Amino acid sequence: MGDSGLNVFFENFLKKESLFLEKKVLQNSFIPEKLPHREEQINQLAHILAPALKQERPSNVFIYGMTGTGKTVTVRYTTQELHKVATGRNIPLEIIYINCKINRTADTEYRLIAELSISLGRMVPPTGLPTKEIYTHFKAALANKGKNIIIILDEIDHLLTKAGDNTLYNLLRINDENLSNHVSIIGISNDLNLIEAIDPRVKSSLSQEEMIFPTYNALQLQDILRQRIESSFKGGAVEPGVIEKCAALAAREHGDARRALDLLRVSGELAERANAGTISIPFLDEADDKIDRDRFTELVSTQPTQQQLALYTILSIQPRSHSIFTGEVYTLYKSYCSKAGLRPLTQRRISDILGEFDMLGFINAKIISKGRYGRMREISLSLPPSLIPRIKQQLAEQLHL
C-alpha cells in the first residue's frame, strides 16, 4: 500500500460507521447497573457488609467460584453501593481493591503491604525496606484513617502460592493490635483446593463468612449478553442466533461469563474489520479461535528462555501418541540445550517448571507410580491442538533452533 493508498484507508476508516456504541460495556472491568442472576449473592454480601455503616467491623468473607462467575463484579458492585451510602451520610469507610495477580503488585508479603499502604495514601518505597518496617508504615497509614477499611483481595490464591499463608496470617492479625479502626478482608479465589491447604488459623479467620458462586448456565448467559448488547452495540448489529451460540460456546467452558463477553466483543471487532454490517455466526467462530490463539501465543512468547525451551521440548515429543514422563522430557531437554547453546537447568528446577506449566494450562501433569519403575509426572498437552504447530514454530524462531 502506497502513501495515497494508506490515506484512502484511513479516510474510509473514519467514514465507516462503527457497530459499537460503547465497547467498554463488554470489558470485564465494567460494572453494570444490574447483575442478572446474582441478586441473591449481592443480597448476601450486602448483609455481611452492612455493619460497616454502623461503624462495626463486618466479618471477613471468603468467596469462591470458577472464573467468569461474577465474583469480582458482584463484590465491586456491592462495595461501590455501600461506599455511596457511606459517603452520603459522612460515614468513614475505605474500600481497597487489590488484584493479587496483576503486575505482580501483590505476590509477596512486602509488595502487598506496600500496595495497601499506598492505597491508604502513604508513600513507601516499592522495595528495599525490611518487611517489619513496611508493617510499621502500614499501621501508621491505618492509624491516620481511623475508620472501617474493607480490603478486597482478588485472586487471593495467587497471593497464597507466591507469598505463603504467613502473609495472610499477619494481615488478619492487624485487628488484634489496632483498636482505632477495623479491617475486614474479602478474599476472592477460584481455586478451592488451595484454600483447603492453608493454615487452619488463617482459614477460620478468613472465612468467617463463605460464599460460593455457581456457574451460569447457557440461558443465564444469554440474559447477561442481552443486557450488555443493549448498550454496547447499535440496534440490529447482532444477528439472530448469535447470542444463543455465544452463550453456548461459553457454557461449554463451565459457564464463563467473561468468555461470553470477550467472544461478543472480539466478533464485533472482526465484523467491523471485515466491513460487515452485522455480526453473524461465522465471526463468532472466528473469535472463538482467535481468543485461544491470542491468549496462548502471548503467554508463550513472554516466557523466559529456559521455560520456552522446556515447552518446546514437550511440544516436540507430543506428536508421538504415547504418554510422556518427566525423565524423557529432561533427557531431551538437555540435548536441546546443547543445540541452543544454553546451560541446562537441574532436574529439580525443571520439575518446578513443569509444575508452572501445569498451572498455566500448557500441560496436564499427573503424578503416577510405575511401581518398580519409579514415580513420575505423566504429562499430556492441554494446549488446543490446532495451536500446537503454530506455537512450536514461534518457539523455534525465538530460540533460534
Is 297 buried (19+), middle (13-18) or exposed (0-12) by CB count in 10 A? Answer: middle
Q: Kindly state whether residue 138 participates in binding DNA, applying the rule CB under 7 A.
A: no
Q: Which is nearer to DNA, 23 or 162 (CB)?
A: 162
- Give min distance, CB of 152 to DNA, in A: 21
Q: Which is nearer to DNA, 207 or 347 (CB)?
A: 347
Q: Kindly state whether residue 131 participates in binding DNA, applying the rule CB under 7 A.
A: yes
User: Using CB under 7 A, which of 82, 188, 229, 354 touches DNA?
Assistant: 354
Q: Kindly state whether residue 372 participates in binding DNA, applying the rule CB under 7 A.
A: yes
User: Using CB under 7 A, which of 22, 339, 375, 389 touches DNA?
Assistant: 375
Stretch that binds DNA, among 58-66, 83-91, 108-116, 221-229 (CB under 7 A): 108-116
- Give min distance, CB of 162 to DNA, in A: 6
Q: Which is nearer to DNA, 13 or 373 (CB)?
A: 373
User: Using CB under 7 A, which of 241, 327, 361, 389 touches DNA?
Assistant: 327
Number of residues lying near DNA (CB under 7 A): 43
Q: Kindly state whether residue 201 participates in binding DNA, applying the rule CB under 7 A.
A: no
User: Using CB under 7 A, which of 345, 383, 387, 395 touches DNA?
Assistant: 345
Q: Kindly state whether residue 15 participates in binding DNA, applying the rule CB under 7 A.
A: no
Q: Are 249 and 256 in contact (CB under 8 A)?
A: no
- Give min distance, CB of 51 to DNA, in A: 34
Stretch that binds DNA, among 3-11, 129-137, 289-297, 380-388 (CB under 7 A): 129-137
Contact residues for DNA, defined by CB under 7 A? 104, 107-111, 125-131, 162, 304, 306, 325-328, 330, 343-349, 351-355, 367, 369-377
